[in-house]
Amino acid sequence: MLTYRWCVPRVMDFRDSSRVLGLSTLANLAKPKSFPLEIKVEWGKGLAQKREAEARLDELGLQKTKPFARTRRDSELVLPDIGDNEKMKESGFIVPQEAPKYSWLKRGLDAAPNRYGIRPGRHWDGVDRSNGFENKMFHGKNEKQATEREAYMCSVFDM
């Protein structure tokens, strides 16, 4: 009986058909290759955007825990003041929020009535810039009411 105990198995290398591998080379191939640990360097594209997205997610997570209804008394609620910016102040775009000294409110003037019943804002200087239509309209309404009232009084007087 013939046994092949003493024989060394040889395996064909399919990457290179001309080589036949022995056990020692097979063992070397079977070992996992160990590479030095590489630190993944994040540079190049979108680092700032990634950080901003993470910050937004963190902020959203914090907002989820807060109550839905917010009030002015809420200490964490910061109302933005758009006019604090230096460039905005220099541009002159910011309208002061207090009533100016020439305002009809501070001078004690009464605003002329208009057909919509809307009072002018606090920045109105008191000058009537209308073309006179509303004055004529109110004058006509008042005359009509006066004649109706006079006719009623005459009809009631006879009783």
- Give the tens place of pLDDT for each residue, 75-117: 777 777 666 678 777 787 777 778 888 888 888 888 888 888 8
Sign of the CA dihedral running 148, 151, 153, 159 = negative
The model's pLDDT over 136-155, given as tens digits with 9 standing for 90+, comes to 999 999 999 999 999 999 98
Q: Which residues make Cβ contacts (< 8 Å) with residue 137, sequence separation at least 6?
A: 115
Query: pTM of the entire structure?
Result: 0.36
The share of the chain scoring above pLDDT 90, in percent, equals: 22
Mean predicted confidence (pLDDT) in 111-140: 88
Q: Domain boundaries in the chain?
A: 103-157
Question: What is the model's pLDDT at position 25?
Answer: 65
Please tell me the predicted confidence (pLDDT) of residue 19.
Answer: 60
Tokens matching residue 109:
């003037």
Q: Alpha-carbon distance 13 to 33, whole Å?
A: 18
Nearest to 113 by CA among 148, 84, 137: 137
